[in-house]
Amino acid sequence: MQQRVPASAAYFFYENYVLGSARIHAGWCGNCNDGRGKSREPPGDENGRWHGPFSTRQDALRLALATRSKDVRNALCCIRDSGEA
């Protein structure tokens, strides 16, 4: 069971089924929007889905690597340290 994490301290990742990729985002990121994405509508899951929140980037990375995604890395829009997860 995942614990509640304040959005400002949370990490999420988006698993894109179509591209076979996963991107780790900070919860405050405008593309992430606390795991809701950019759409005003409830997120669908035909192209992919958001996972989280996670209390650390390392926890998000660990679960992202456990998906079938071939390309897992940090989202450069909000996590700029190395670009590679």
**How do residues 11-53 score in pLDDT, each as one tens digit?**
999 999 999 999 999 999 999 999 999 887 766 778 999 999 9
Would you kindly state where each structural domain of the chain is located, as residue ranges?
7-74
Cβ contacts of residue 52 below 8 Å, gap of 6+? 2, 10, 11, 12, 13, 27, 35, 60
State the pLDDT at residue 41: 72
Contact between 36 and 69 under an 8 Å Cβ cutoff? The reply is no
58-83 tens-digit pLDDT: 999 999 999 989 999 999 999 876 44
- Three-class SS of residue 83? coil
Contact between 74 and 24 under an 8 Å Cβ cutoff? The reply is yes
